[in-house]
């Protein structure tokens, strides 16, 4: 078992199977020592956990947990192209939050992903981040997460 899997197991989590793409793309691509993930949604067992806009249909605390689920799926996407123990640094996290008008709590929602990445990768999980409110996300998802991670050869 990898160190990342061990850290996740200590949280009662495991790396899920990589989520099946919903359109014409691959979950992740490795190039030049960096892995780029496609946007990952909060799927559990192939189903979207929640739908709607944060601040209207989805409470911010629930969205925080959904960001955590989407980040776990992003970890799975990274693991689909490289061994997770090769990750030397999570470089950048993009967090997109389907936001109701007037909702400005995107950073707190994004912390669900950031906290999980720090727990999974330790100090290598500290990262730069964007947390962006958007009008709509694929399939009506409340959150979407994408990663860029540096890996050793």
| pTM for this entry | 0.97
Residue 35: predicted pLDDT: 98
In the chain, the domains with their CATH numbers are 3-16+33-151 (3.30.1330.40)
5-22 average pLDDT score = 94
Give the distance from CA 1 to its chain's centroid. Answer: 21
Q: What is the mean pLDDT of residues 77-98?
A: 98
Quote the pLDDT of residue 112. 98
Read off the pLDDT of residues 90-103 as tens digits, 9 standing for 90 and up.
Answer: 999 999 999 999 99
| Per-residue pLDDT at 114 | 98
Q: What pLDDT is attached to residue 28? A: 98
The pLDDT of residue 153 is: 87
Per the CB < 8 A criterion, the answer to whether 114 and 129 are in contact is yes
């Amino acid at each position: 078992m990898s160190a990342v899997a061990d850290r996740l197991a200590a949280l009662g989590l495991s790396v899920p199977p990589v989520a099946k793409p919903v359109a014409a793309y691959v979950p992740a691509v490795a190039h030049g020592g960096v892995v780029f993930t496609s946007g990952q949604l909060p799927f559990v067992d192939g189903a979207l956990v929640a739908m709607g806009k944060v601040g209207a249909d989805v409470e911010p605390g629930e969205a925080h947990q959904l960001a955590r689920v989407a980040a776990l799926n992003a970890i799975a996407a990274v693991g689909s192209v490289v061994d997770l123990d090769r990750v030397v640094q999570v470089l950048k996290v993009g967090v997109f939050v389907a936001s109701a008008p007037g909702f400005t709590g995107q950073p707190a929602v994004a912390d669900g992903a950031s906290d999980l990445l720090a727990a999974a990768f330790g100090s290598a999980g500290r990262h730069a981040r964007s947390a962006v409110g958007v009008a709509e996300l694929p399939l009506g998802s409340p959150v979407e997460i994408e990663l860029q991670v540096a890996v050793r050869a």
